[in-house]
Amino acid sequence: MIIPAFAARSLPRFARASCRAGPRLASGRNITRFAGAKRGSDWAAFHNGRSAHAYSTTSPLQDDILDIVKSEIDVEVSSGNMEMPEELSDLKRQLTVNWKIVDDEDSATIQLYLNDKKVQLSFHCQDTVPDPLEEEEDDMEAEDGEEDEPASDVRFTVTQTKAGKTLVFNCITAEEGVQIEGVATSKQDVDAIHAQQGTLEKSSYEGPEFLDLDERLQSSFYEYLEKELKVSSDVTDFIAMYTDYKEQQLYTQFLKDVEAMVS
């Protein structure tokens, strides 16, 4: 039998059991990695031991899907993956001094608004950028029998709106804090810019290649992000950590939705 691809996904790095320290963030915080079973690893035992559905109104295929999904939900709930890690909870509370954090439970995009300024930050919990070197290391570890998931950098967009124009920074979280991919200006609606994850209209000038800018201007943009727009290492740590937590919430909800649709 071919096991569906999602049944082989790794549990998130914030799982409460069998954990080890992962890469350090800019502030020195560790991203915790889960070194235990893969998602779906309990399915075979569960499936082989399940009782027959003598009077089931579902097909054998539906029963198989439901068994896998229910087993996955049980694993996610029993492992404590639905709870926000204490370190992330503390960091979120610290950020609310300067930022208003908006997280719609049905949305994969998280919005942050800087108090008293027309500054907005957004990121999508699946818009990650895997490090090729970490992928190679992960492949080597997998050959040695280790099963952990490498940390990924996360893309995010920061905007500042003034007099009908918006300054747009497209960035990536990085070990040193933040990496700027590009800077542009736009007259587009700022909410539309964030809805498109920082992508401007096709007819718009997307700004110069950032690395082609004068190095002094590049440095000034980094300083402006940190000092004027308050995009500190705490903010980038929050983005990296919250991405894992949010993806876990949505993954579990996905399983529950599949269960409701298939049954």
3-state SS string for 206-244: CCCCHHHCCHHHHHHHHHHHHHCCCCCHHHHHHHHHHHH
Mean pLDDT for the chain?
81
Q: Which residues neighbour 84 within 8 Å (Cβ) at sequence distance 6 or greater? A: 92, 245
Share of the chain above pLDDT 90, in %: 60
d(CA 66, CA 262): 7
Return the CA Rg of the chain. 21
Residue 1 has pLDDT above 50, yes or no: no
Number of residues that this document lists for the chain: 263
d(CA 185, CA 168): 6
Split at pLDDT 50, 70, 90, the class of 136 is: low
Share of the chain above pLDDT 70, in %: 71
Mean pLDDT within 193-197: 93
d(CA 76, CA 99): 30
Gap between the terminal Cα atoms of the chain:
21
pLDDT at res. 138: 55
Residue 185 has pLDDT above 90, yes or no: yes
Residue 53 has pLDDT above 50, yes or no: no
- Write the pLDDT tens digit of every residue in 100-132: 999 999 999 999 999 878 999 999 999 998 766
Q: What is the H or E stretch that residue 262 is in?
A: helix 233-262
Degrees (nearest 5) of the Cα angle 170, 171, 174?
170
Lowest mean pLDDT among 49-53, 188-192, 251-255: 49-53
Token representation of residue 156? 């995010």
- Write the pLDDT tens digit of every residue in 226-245: 999 999 999 999 999 999 99
Token representation of residue 82? 């639905």
Q: Which residues neighbour 37 within 8 Å (Cβ) at sequence distance 6 or greater? A: 11, 75, 147
- Write the pLDDT tens digit of every residue in 5-33: 444 444 444 443 333 344 556 666 665 54
Residue 165 has pLDDT above 90, yes or no: yes
Q: Which letter does DSSP use for residue 142 in this model?
A: H
Q: pTM for the full model? A: 0.75
pLDDT at res. 28: 64
Q: Are 233 and 177 in contact (CB under 8 A)?
A: yes
Strand partners, 172: 155, 179
- DSSP percent split of the chain into helix, strand, coil, nearest 5: 40, 25, 35
Split at pLDDT 50, 70, 90, the class of 78 is: confident
Split at pLDDT 50, 70, 90, the class of 190 is: very high
